[in-house]
Amino acid sequence: MRVSNVKVIKLEDVLEALLDYHPDADVDLVKKAYVYAASKHADQTRYSGEPYIIHPLHVARFVCELKLDEVCVAAALLHDTLEDTQAPFEEIQELFGTPVANIVQGVTKLSSMNYDSREERQAETFRKMLLAMAKDIRVILVKLADRVHNIRTLDHTSEEQQVRVAQETMDIYAPLANRLGLYRVKSELEDGAFRYLHPQEFAALNEQLKIGEKKRQKFLDEVKTTIERELEKVHLKATVFARIKYRYSIFRKMQRQGVTLDEVYDVVAFRVLCNTVEQCWQVLGLIHQLWRPIPGRFRDFISLPKPNGYKSLHTSVIGPGAEQMEIQIRTWTMHEIAERGIAAHWKYKEGNVISPADEEKIRYLKQLIEELMDLNDTLRDSMELYSAIKDGLSFEEIFVFTPRGDVRNLPLDATPLDFAFSIHTEVGIRCTGARVNGIMAPIDHQLKNGDVVTIITSNHQTPSVDWLRVVKSSRAKAKIRGYLRAESKERHQQLGKILLEKELKQFSITLNKIIKNGSLKQRLAAIGLDREEHLFLQVGVGKLEAEDVARKIAEEMGLVKTPDEKPKFKPLGGLLERLSLSGKGKVLVGGQQDVMIRFAKCCNPIRGERIVGFVTRGRGITVHSMECNYVEMMDQERFVDVEWDRQGETGTEVSVKITSKDTPGMLTSISQVFSKFGLNIKQVVVRTGEEKADAVFKVDVNNVSQLKSIVRALSRVKGVLKVERIQS
Ligand code: MN
């Protein structure tokens, strides 16, 4: 791919470039688009003072470098006509067809009039582009071409604008180009943005690079010649390219490793392009004979391509003068894919339709779009969406495989949970662990590049708030949040129902009855709700008082309260009661035992857990776990301190011996298992030997099946080798 450095660009340059790779292109469409755009922008100039049309022409020219079709070229020429002129969408649609019009609309900024802040407008514009991109991937390709030219010509705009465009480029567009496999576009965008985001560092780096320039050039030439000579010896035809790495990648390395330019190895990089895969391996062999390879730096992306189709061999060697250098070896076809990414997978078919050459090859694109759409569906707030996508895109990635060899890219430090959610939401929700390279691993295990992961699921599994700390990918985070939200809504509805039922009882009616006789519906209409669930939810979250609702319904039915003969704190045979487990142990309220309490169904606290009491109206005290999702939503004034009654616990004391690796944190992990079961550890004796540790825990258990569960859970702790019950 050539970089167009044409100073004065003309329509002919664009047409020539287009016909070069696409001889049957609909030239008339492009010409017509040019004439239309030129007339719409006739009175406009860019910040640089040039006629405005220069910009769309450059964008169109760049679109040709990606070898896209005439629809994209026309759309590139027209891309700013909706935004900066008054041309209506319908006019463009009528003149150039729906695909062109849709792309133009997709890349158009939303009008600033409708938004309070620039950020909000930016985020909303981005959401719109995302939706357009889901329908037609060409939208993002034209947008990237637009952004490349904007970054190249950012010098002429205000400083504020420079920083804003550069930041957005770094946050969203460079990472998107990266995910789509457009590596050169990504690097150019990053270098362009770097210049404006860190002007001092950029200048300093350039200055430093200039100092060693001559020496470096000599080094590049020397290595290049050496490789070429070796290739010639074996009559292998290949082309060697030598270059200094992109500024931003050098800068990032300096930052990450906290070093100066002198200390950064691999400032230079080489690329050898061959004709066949066999030659790639042959070249690798030659290079490894010339210079000593650095262990752990060889990557075979030919056998295991990146999800976006990128293939290449990467190696780092110790070159002349002990300089480290990176060498990439690939075929010309692979190179084309590395440069054009997703665009390389489109082929011209009959009737000049550009379409994916191979569905399999663009599967990663579908995955990416699905991921973005998921976030779009989950996050209603545009700013939230923007930042989730920013986080979701700009991660250092690792590649993890399914047992069938499908590859997923995940953020660095991703866990089996991330992987599970990347497969399917249902798989994520039910995930209990994984087999990583055949070995059992917990959900928070850190995955590494190249891991083969099988997810283990259970129908009894449900996500918890803790999961949000376990996952790294924004997709998994959004999915877990969505689940928890829906779940807490359901709980509130259920609670509302119970509260209402209880209040109705005082009038000797049931929920069932008022649903059947239409009284509930009447009440709903009176307060402007349309569904029963809405009412239950409002009662459940405390927006409506159950007592009020019940009284009004009763009034309308002409019912009066039946005299309350029962003592205030009498257990009520509701759902809450039935669901609270027996044998949990007693709870003390203010040191008193005889207070009417029940365990909340939503969090079902287990003995030993930190708990809090909630004073209900006429139903005594409900005990919630401190971790319960909806404790924070309840009226804080009605909370009371409660504690577990340690007296008279009827457990049986047992001793459990655990043999484990002697690693830091081991005891903590083990004791966490006990506390998860609500068990009080009475005594621990630890003996450490060679790399192994024996720990004997004395605890009270309630029954044998509980003991079995504990032993199972302990065996699953990473590093635990053996668990057995011993006689104490
Ligand atoms: Mn533009």
pLDDT higher than threshold 70 for residue 359: no
Q: What is the pLDDT of residue 581?
A: 32
Percent of the chain with pLDDT over 70: 88
Helix (H, G, I), strand (E, B), or coil: what is residue 558?
Answer: coil
Rounded CA separation 377/172 (Å): 19
Rounded CA separation 143/136 (Å): 12
Lowest-confidence pick of 158-167, 364-373, 455-464: 364-373
Count the alpha carbons within 13 Å of 395 in the hemisphere toward its beta carbon: 19
Q: In the block, which residue shows the tokens 């005990």?
A: 623
Q: What is the pLDDT of residue 574?
A: 32
Averaged pLDDT for residues 649-667: 77
Rounded CA separation 435/717 (Å): 14
Asked whether 333 and 273 are in contact (CB, 8 A), the reply is no
Q: What is the pLDDT of residue 569?
A: 32
Q: In the structure, what pLDDT confidence band is assigned to residue 596 with cuts at 50, 70 and 90? A: low
Does 645 qualify as catalytic in the annotation? no
Rounded alpha-carbon distances, angstroms, from residue 295 to 230, 292, 381: 23, 9, 47
Single-letter amino acid, residue 227? I
Ligand 1 center from residue 55 Cα (angstroms): 7
Q: What is the pLDDT of residue 570?
A: 30
Tens digit of pLDDT for each residue in 219-274? 999 999 999 999 999 999 999 999 988 999 889 888 888 887 777 767 889 999 99
Tens digit of pLDDT for each residue in 19-46? 998 888 899 999 999 999 999 888 888 8
Asked whether 81 and 40 are in contact (CB, 8 A), the reply is yes
Q: What is the pLDDT of residue 563?
A: 62
Q: What is the pLDDT of residue 15?
A: 94
- The catalytic position among 26, 83, 91, 168 is 83
Q: What is the pTM (predicted TM-score) of this model? A: 0.63
Q: What is the pLDDT of residue 332?
A: 95
Contacts of 67 (CB under 8 A, 6+ apart): 21, 22, 340, 343, 344
Q: Supply 212's token pair.
A: 């060693």
Q: What is the pLDDT of residue 71?
A: 92
Mean pLDDT of the chain: 82
Tens digit of pLDDT for each residue in 465-509? 889 889 988 888 888 888 888 877 877 787 788 778 878 888 888
Asked whether 447 and 414 are in contact (CB, 8 A), the reply is yes
Rounded CA separation 296/327 (Å): 14
Helix (H, G, I), strand (E, B), or coil: what is residue 8?
Answer: coil
Tens digit of pLDDT for each residue in 281-335? 999 999 999 999 988 788 888 888 887 888 999 999 998 888 889 999 999 999 9
Q: What is the pLDDT of residue 590?
A: 57
Which one has a higher pLDDT value, 332 or 607? Answer: 332
Q: What is the pLDDT of residue 242?
A: 93
Q: What is the pLDDT of residue 13?
A: 93
Ligand 1 center from residue 241 Cα (angstroms): 33
Tens digit of pLDDT for each residue in 103-116? 998 888 776 666 77
Lowest-confidence pick of 11-25, 128-142, 326-340, 549-563: 549-563
| Neighbouring-strand partners of residue 453 | 436
Q: In the structure, what pLDDT confidence band is assigned to residue 594 with cuts at 50, 70 and 90? A: low
- The catalytic position among 20, 24, 28, 84 is 84
Tens digit of pLDDT for each residue in 62-95? 999 999 989 999 999 999 888 655 568 889 999 9
Phi first, then psi: what are they for 72, rounded to 5°? -70, -40
Does 406 qualify as catalytic in the annotation? no
Tens digit of pLDDT for each residue in 573-592? 333 332 333 334 567 765 55
DSSP per-residue codes, 520-555? HHHHHHHTT---HHHHHHHHHTTSS-HHHHHHHHHH
Ligand 1 center from residue 156 Cα (angstroms): 14
Ligand 1 center from residue 153 Cα (angstroms): 11
Q: What is the pLDDT of residue 586?
A: 67
Q: What is the pLDDT of residue 1?
A: 44
Asked whether 148 and 177 are in contact (CB, 8 A), the reply is no
Tens digit of pLDDT for each residue in 608-628? 667 888 877 656 678 888 777
Percent of the chain with pLDDT over 90: 28
Protein residues placing their CB within 5 Å of the ion ligand 1: 80, 146
Rounded CA separation 725/138 (Å): 64
Which one has a higher pLDDT value, 512 or 406? Answer: 512
Single-letter amino acid, residue 572? L
The length of the chain, given as a count of residues: 728
Ligand 1 center from residue 142 Cα (angstroms): 9
Q: What is the pLDDT of residue 434?
A: 93
Per-residue three-class SS string for 157-183: CCHHHHHHHHHHHHHHHHHHHHHCCCH
Count the alpha carbons within 13 Å of 699 in the hemisphere toward its beta carbon: 27
Averaged pLDDT for residues 393-397: 71
Ligand 1 center from residue 367 Cα (angstroms): 28
Asked whether 359 and 302 are in contact (CB, 8 A), the reply is no
